[in-house]
Structure 1
């Protein structure tokens, strides 16, 4: 739960998140997979030996809180930097403070919020101080550390993954706020459910909503807050959505895999989640076109047409009318027969060409627009397929000399590709007969 939970004696004048900041691990709501009995962070605290760590998770789940509790548990000084506002100069100043603490016999936790915002040189600047033991480093990030944190720094820190708070955990947070600070605030069960929905797993957002609700209820003289009051009195923002981070790519991955898995309801859910969160619908339309090619292909060629038509329709109508076209395309793709044969064939051909030598075009396949080229034999003995039985030049070869038949394209026994497979098998039989003759 980021930055929240209780002190034993909260100050009514303090912001709610500060008033409810936890004083121990036992007061933290959420992250039981890390701080429950026998869990990794709990064991680390109980060991008495702090270590550098990176706390990775969405906003409002407790990264700063856990960093502060780490310093408190081990009796360390706590220095916090925000990578958004700090630079090399701030890092040096923090290290000077840590040296002063050490001279007085005090060790230091250096907490860097949004560590992914530091560039490579700034992250490298932390390494000597972490390696020397001057500071124990704790970083917080909403982005995947594998991509956003230097490997050298990453290798010196244990990564802990934090999770969004569940609905029950958010309700527990509401009860705690009412018991400790907002004792006069009465919420109907439906109002609590509304706030929980808009908090979307973010404890800090939940506390901000509670503060806004309390202020509005006092001003209006409302005895019990209802969902209707919340809708009228508050500006309820859309659900959490990071348009460029892991949350975005996780959701587009879920959409793609739901289509591939032939589950139209799940595909619709992820599509609407992304649209609701503010994702660029044009990006979604491009991904939908890719799904048609990658996962359906020639098993149902209409899928590509449907996907392209949906993209065109969205360009013409915009949102919200054009959203329906994307939804219809996603449904069609989800229920269409699936084949990745074309996708696999292309990847295999590309890999082969990249590592293979440059092979000459066979003489009979070469273009011959001039007399000189014709005299050199270009195009000689080429068999025009339309003049052959079944419009197929049985036994002819179209690959470079010495190159074995790769058979990259392997149709699946679904949709139109089952008929394509039958046709290819027939043509190969004609080739064998022609070569025997």
Structure 2
């Protein structure tokens, strides 16, 4: 077995030989062999790339990405043991370039003296800045060390492309209740590192309850178990009862990072549930976010966005209801105001859906951005002065209110280059059915009328003695 060496947050060697009781239970119960590692079968199962690499006695640089308590640090240690490499650990929270250089120097010395390889484990690697991440590149490339970085954040956003291209990313999943129950049983039965010497017992149903409430986090489960055991140890019976378990489970245990992937994943789930017309799922994800501490104002803001993006003119009332819910929360606060947000969410989940305006707006925006400054047609330009009228501004403009049904059939309002473009295509749902029918009728009238000869540039002053006004037009400049 290889010698393991760690560097603590301050950059000094950590004492792994301390009394077992002086270390937290979660640290004491780390498995010593890969076969005792629990979970992550999707990357450690038969014929998986990581399994094949270990079988060949080699390991590659990698990023381990997953929630807290899923075994990232433990797996890194066991990988080093499996391929007989030195294990050096630094934390990106406290370490800097100096610590990286020291680790590299030690790795080179070990390589030159006995050919021993070094696995450098960087906890929270996403906390390294660009210069620090770039500083690792040459040593990963030349084989001075094998880098294993651990992160709870999406590496595609937080880790430099240069470093990502030289490593392989493995996604670690939250542990299921069965896996965590296995770890709880081990801790209660282990007399050397666990709680067996304390004579602590715990009913199977309570173990299941703790496993479920740990929310996929093995470290959290063992920390809570240790707290409950400390309480039980003070009693003569030394039994963890429902009372002891309730005491340590008082705080909510849902995973929720207000600025990280869990936040955006859950918000995405809420949005997609509304879009998918599933009020039950929408309520669940809304509750998950609010129960875990999401700012209701931010949720209300996103719900308002859903009203425009996914419902639009199929039911324009959704937007007003979303704004009312937002305002209600501002007036009532928590928890009363959250009910209004839930009401708006359910309404939108059940409402007819249309992204027609959203799609039309995006398409129009793209043309506005990419087609340059297309000229405003002369007949719809403002003409506040005589010179502008002489140049043909507003000439031939038809005041819609003077036309049949207040519609100037055949009139055009787009730049010449875009005439005939249709951005808005109403969905055949909700109110947009009626909107679509109306637009279809108006386009039939357009087709039956004479086509306008659109002009985008002014005539020479004095070429025509017309001002483009209509005696019935109260203000042709509008």
Instruction: Please report the TM-score for the alignment, with normalisation by the length of structure 2.
Output: 0.86
1:198–1:186 Cα change, 3 Å = same
What CA distance in whole angstroms lies between the structure 2 residues aligned with 1:31 and 1:308? 44
1:62 and 2:71 aligned: yes
Equivalences for residues 175-194 of structure 1 within 5 A: 175-180=185-190, 181-183=194-196, 184-194=199-209
Aligned to 1:162: 172
Assess if the C-alpha contact under 8 Å between 1:212 and 1:234 holds in 2.
no
Equivalences for residues 359-378 of structure 1 within 5 A: 359-378=374-393
What CA distance in whole angstroms lies between the structure 2 residues aligned with 1:198 and 1:58? 15
Mean alpha-carbon deviation: is it higher for 14-23 or for 102-111?
A: 14-23
Q: Tell me the SS of whatever aligns to 1:393.
A: coil
Aligned to 1:3: none
1:278 and 2:305 aligned: no
1:235 deviates by 4.5
1:90 alignment partner, one of 91, 99, 114: 99
2:335 alignment partner, one of 312, 320, 339: 320
Aligned to 1:48: 57
1:305 and 2:320 aligned: yes
Mean alpha-carbon deviation: is it higher for 344-353 or for 178-187?
A: 178-187
Aligned to 1:265: 280
What CA distance in whole angstroms lies between the structure 2 residues aligned with 1:304 and 1:205? 41
Matched pairs, number:
429
1:27 alignment partner, one of 32, 36, 47: 36
Assess if the C-alpha contact under 8 Å between 2:34 and 2:82 holds in 1.
no
What CA distance in whole angstroms lies between the structure 2 residues aligned with 1:227 and 1:236? 15
1:236 alignment partner, one of 229, 251, 257: 251
Mean alpha-carbon deviation: is it higher for 78-87 or for 179-188?
A: 179-188
Assess if the C-alpha contact under 8 Å between 1:394 and 1:434 holds in 2.
yes
Q: Tell me the SS of whatever aligns to 1:337.
A: coil
1:73 and 2:103 aligned: no
Aligned to 1:17: 26
1:222–1:353 Cα change, 3 Å = farther
1:234–1:308 Cα change, 3 Å = closer
What CA distance in whole angstroms lies between the structure 1 residues aligned with 2:291 and 2:87? 39
1:409 alignment partner, one of 404, 424, 428: 424
Over residues 123-165 of structure 1, what are the superposed CA-to-partner deviations in whole Å (9 max), with x where a residue is unaligned?
0000111111100111101111111111111111111110000
Q: Tell me the SS of whatever aligns to 1:139.
A: strand
Mean alpha-carbon deviation: is it higher for 69-78 or for 231-240?
A: 231-240
What CA distance in whole angstroms lies between the structure 2 residues aligned with 1:390 and 1:227? 74
Assess if the C-alpha contact under 8 Å between 2:255 and 2:262 holds in 1.
no
What CA distance in whole angstroms lies between the structure 1 residues aligned with 2:253 and 2:265? 18
Q: Tell me the SS of whatever aligns to 1:104.
A: helix
Equivalences for residues 82-231 of structure 1 within 5 A: 82-105=91-114, 106-180=116-190, 181-183=194-196, 184-231=199-246
Mean alpha-carbon deviation: is it higher for 231-240 or for 34-43?
A: 231-240
Assess if the C-alpha contact under 8 Å between 1:262 and 1:336 holds in 2.
yes
What CA distance in whole angstroms lies between the structure 2 residues aligned with 1:292 and 1:190? 44
Over residues 203-239 of structure 1, what are the superposed CA-to-partner deviations in whole Å (9 max), with x where a residue is unaligned?
0000100010000112244544333332246643432
Answer 1 or 2: which has greater helix percent.
1
Assess if the C-alpha contact under 8 Å between 1:194 and 1:227 holds in 2.
no
Assess if the C-alpha contact under 8 Å between 1:385 and 1:393 holds in 2.
yes
Q: Tell me the SS of whatever aligns to 2:450.
A: helix
What CA distance in whole angstroms lies between the structure 2 residues aligned with 1:147 and 1:27? 33
Assess if the C-alpha contact under 8 Å between 2:85 and 2:118 holds in 1.
yes
What CA distance in whole angstroms lies between the structure 2 residues aligned with 1:273 and 1:228? 25
- Cα RMSD after superposing both structures: 1.8
Over residues 273-293 of structure 1, what are the superposed CA-to-partner deviations in whole Å (9 max), with x where a residue is unaligned?
111111121111111111111
1:279–1:383 Cα change, 3 Å = same
2:405 alignment partner, one of 372, 390, 393: 390
Assess if the C-alpha contact under 8 Å between 1:198 and 1:237 holds in 2.
no
Over residues 325-381 of structure 1, what are the superposed CA-to-partner deviations in whole Å (9 max), with x where a residue is unaligned?
111111011000001111110111111121113111111111122333233332222
Assess if the C-alpha contact under 8 Å between 1:299 and 1:337 holds in 2.
yes
1:82–1:305 Cα change, 3 Å = same
Assess if the C-alpha contact under 8 Å between 1:213 and 1:234 holds in 2.
no
Stretches of structure 2 lacking an aligned partner (at least 5 in a row): 1-15, 453-478
Over residues 247-293 of structure 1, what are the superposed CA-to-partner deviations in whole Å (9 max), with x where a residue is unaligned?
11111111111110000010111111111111121111111111111
1:194 deviates by 3.4
Equivalences for residues 415-426 of structure 1 within 5 A: 415-426=430-441
What CA distance in whole angstroms lies between the structure 1 residues aligned with 2:208 and 2:409? 70
Instruction: Please report the TM-score for the alignment, with normalisation by the length of structure 1.
Output: 0.94
**Structure having the higher Rg:** 2
Aligned to 1:4: none
